[in-house]
Structure 1
Amino acid sequence: MNLFISSFKMKRFLLKISPYLLGIILLFAVLGAFADGNTDDNYRHFAVPKPQNIILGDSRGSQAVIPDVLKSKLSTEFDNFSLNVVESPYGKVYLEALKRKLDPETKNGVFILTVDPWNLSLNKNIKSKKEYPEEHSPLKNMHFYNWSPNYEYLLKNYSRSWFKIYLEREETGKSNTYLHKNGWLEVNVDMNKDSVAVREKNKIEFYNKLASKNNLSAARIQAFEQIINYLTPKGKVFIVRIPASKSITDIENKKYPDFSKLMNEIANKNPIKFFDFSASYDKYLYTDGNHMYKESGKVFSSQIADSIRANQ
C-alpha cells in the first residue's frame, strides 16, 4: 500500500515538473541554434560538413592559411582544422580527431600540415600521456564533427551562459576573433605599431619561457608521421613551416636549430614535399610576432597554393 502511494506521488510530481523540464530543454535548443562563428574559437570546427581537403596545425595555421585563397587558386574547397598549440599539437588525440573529421570517402584530397617547433614539442616534466595538454581539448571529448547546431559541443565545451550565444551572435557584428565556416580564424586587432610592439613583447616573454621548458617530443613526431601515413593514401600531403617575426624566429632557431632539417628528412622519407617559409619572416606582418596578420595571410596562402600547383 505504501509503495503504491509513493509511486502515485512520484507520477504526480513528474507530471508537474515535465512541462518545466520541457520548457528548459526547448529554451536551450533555441539558444543553441544561434551558435556561429562568434560563439568561441572552436565551435564551427564541429558544426560543418566533413571536408576532403584539410589544413592542420596550431594557431599560426588557423590564422595564416586562408581556405578561400587556396580555393581561388586550386579550385577546390578547404577546411582549416587548426586550433592552437594547447588543443591541437601533433599527437594521438589530433590523429583520432582527424579520423572523425575527414570525409571517409576522400580519395584525391590535398592536405596541408603546418608546423613549427612548438606543435611538435612537449614540456620536459610531463611523464605520462594523461598529462598532455590536449587531453583537455574538445578534440578529445567530441564524437560528432558535422552536426549543426552541435549540442554535443555546447554541452561539453561551452562554459558561458547560453544566452551569450544569442546576444553575441554574428548578426550583431563579428567578434574580434571570428571563426569562419571553413575553419579560418579571422583576428581583428589594432595594428598600430605601438600596439603590435606591446603584444610582441608579451609573446617573446612567453616563448622564451616555453623554450626553457619544452623539448622536441619523439611521441609527437611519431604521431605526426602517423598522420602523414594516414593521409597519404587519400591524396597529397604537404608540410608547411609558417614564419613568425624575427624575434620569435630567433628564439626558435636558437632552441631548435635543426628543426627545418628534421622536417625535410621526414618529407624525404615519406616522400612528400616540405615548403619552408621560415627564412622569409620579413615579408609578412604579424599581429603579435607569432601570428600572421590577415592581409599577410592572404599573400602567404597564395604562395602556398602556388607551391602546391608547382608540385602536383
Structure 2
Amino acid sequence: MKEFIKTTGLFLSVCIITVLGVFYLADNRTDEYYVKLTTPKQSSLIVGSSRAAQGIQPQYINLQLSNEKIYNYAFSRVHTPYGKAYLNSIKRKLNKQSKDGVFILEVNPWVISSQTKNPEDSLNFKDNNSFAEVVKCVNCNPNFEYLIYCYDKSYRHILLDKIKTKNIKTNVDVNGWCEVEFLKNKTDSFDKIHSQTIKRYSQILNKYSGVSETRISYLERTIKYLQQYGTTYLVRLPVSTEMLEIENQLISDFDVRMENLSNKLNTEYINFMMNNEKYNYIDSHHLDKKSGEQISKYIAEHIKNN
C-alpha cells in the first residue's frame, strides 16, 4: 500500500511539474489573448473588439505621446463587448496613478448588441463567462487563472512555438498589438476569404437580437470611468462596403447613437467609415498591416493636435 501511495505521489508530482513547466513557456504566440493578461498595469489603453486588436498599432501612437505609452487591451466581439465583464477587466488593467492617460475606445454595432433573446438580459450575456470576467489578475505572469480556466486549446499548442489557424499566423506584440499575416503557403485568395467572411457574418447576424441599451449604458460607464484618468476618444474603424451593409441591418442608426453619446460625454467620435474604400482588409473587416499603420498614424496626429 505504501509503495502504491509513493508511486502515485511521484507520478502526480511529475505531472504537476510538467504542466507548470509548460505554463512557464506560454508567451505571445500562445493565443491572441494570453499575453495581454500577463503584462503590467497600463496608464493608457486601446479597448474594443478584434478590429482594434489588429487594426490600431500602438507603436505609431506612442511616437506622438509625450508622457504616456498606450497599450492595446482590445480582444474580440465575443469576449469583450461593452458590459460589466469588460469594464471590470479594464479597471483591473488600469494603472490608477496617472491622470494624463489616453484612451481609445473602438466601437462598432456588434459590441453594443446582444445575442440573448432579450437584448437587455444582462444575466445571460455570453461575456459573463469569458476570461474578461473569470481572470481576476490581468498582470500575472504566468497567468494560471487563464491557462487553467480559459485556455480552450490543448496545452501542446503552447509547445508549438507559433499559432496557426488555417493559413494565418498570429503574434501579439509587446505593446498588445495583434499582428496577423498570411503564411507563404496560403491557398485561399482574398476574394474567397472575403466571400466566406461575409457569408459567416450574414449567419451571425441572425443570432443577434439587436442593439442593447444595457451595453450602451456600460459603454457610457466605461467612458466616464476612463475620463477620471485622462482623455477618451471613440473610434469606428472602417470595414468593407459589404460588411457595412450587414452592420446597418443590425443597427441602422449606429453613427447617430455614437455622435449623441460623444456629445453627451464630451468625447470625440472619429469615424473612419466615410472613407472605407481607401483601406485594405485581410478578411473584409480587419485592416491589413499597412492600412492599420495609416489609421494609427492618423489617430496619433489627431491626439497630438488636440
Give me the TM-score of the superposition, normalised by structure 2: 0.90
1:86 aligns with 2:78: yes
Name which of structure 1's ranges 14-23 and 86-95 shifts more when overlaid on structure 2. 14-23
Alpha-carbon distance in 1 for matches of 2:61, 2:97: 21
Where do residues 117-128 of structure 1 align in structure 2 (5 Å cutoff)? 117-123=109-115, 125-126=117-118, 128=121
Q: Which residue of 1 aligns with 2:143?
A: 150
Pair 84,26 (structure 1): closer, same or farther in 2 beyond 3 Å: same
CA separation in 1, counterparts of 2:194 and 2:156?
34
Q: Which runs of 5+ in 1 are unaligned?
A: 1-8
Residue 191 (structure 2) pairs with residue 197 (structure 1): yes
The 8 Å contact of residues 82 and 215 in structure 2, kept in 1 or not, is answered as: yes
1:124 Cα deviation after fit: 5.6
Identity over the aligned pairs, expressed in percent? 32
SS of equivalent to 1:51: coil
Question: What is the identity, as a one-letter code, of the residue corresponding to 1:188?
Answer: E
Tell me the CA shift for residue 16 of structure 1: 4.3
- The corresponding residue for 2:22 is 31
Moved over 4 A (4+): 11-16, 190-194
Cα 1:161–1:254, aligned 2, differ >3 Å: closer, same or farther? closer
Out of 243-252 and 288-297, give the one that drifted further. 243-252
Partner of 1:102: 94
Check if 1:276 corresponds to 2:271. Answer: yes
> For 1:185 and 1:160, how far apart are their aligned partners in 2?
19
2: CA distance, partners of 1:247 / 1:194? 19
Q: Which has the higher helix share?
A: 1
The corresponding residue for 1:130 is: 123
Aligned equivalent of 2:228, options 222, 228, 233: 233
Q: Which of these two proteins has the greater Rg computed from alpha carbons?
A: 1
Q: Kindly indicate whether residue 64 of structure 2 is the aligned counterpart of residue 73 of structure 1.
A: yes
Q: Distance in 2 between matches of 1:142 and 1:96?
A: 10
Mean Cα deviation higher: 203-212 or 26-35:
203-212
Kept in 2, the 8 Å contact 1:124–1:215? The answer is no
Residue 122 of structure 2 aligns to which amino acid in structure 1? Answer: K
Q: Secondary structure at the match of 2:189?
A: helix
2:299 is aligned to 304
Q: Which residue of 1 aligns with 2:41?
A: 50
- Structure 2 unaligned segments of length 5 or more: list them: none
Question: Which residue does the alignment assign to 1:167?
Answer: 160
For residues 129 and 222 of structure 2, what CA distance do their matches in structure 1 show? Answer: 20
TM-score, normalised by the number of residues in structure 1? 0.88
Q: CA RMSD in A?
A: 2.3
Give secondary structure in 1 for the equivalent of 2:64.
Answer: helix
Asked if the contact 2:116/2:125 (under 8 Å) is kept, the reply is: no
1:104 positional shift = 2.8
1:62 aligns with 2:53: yes
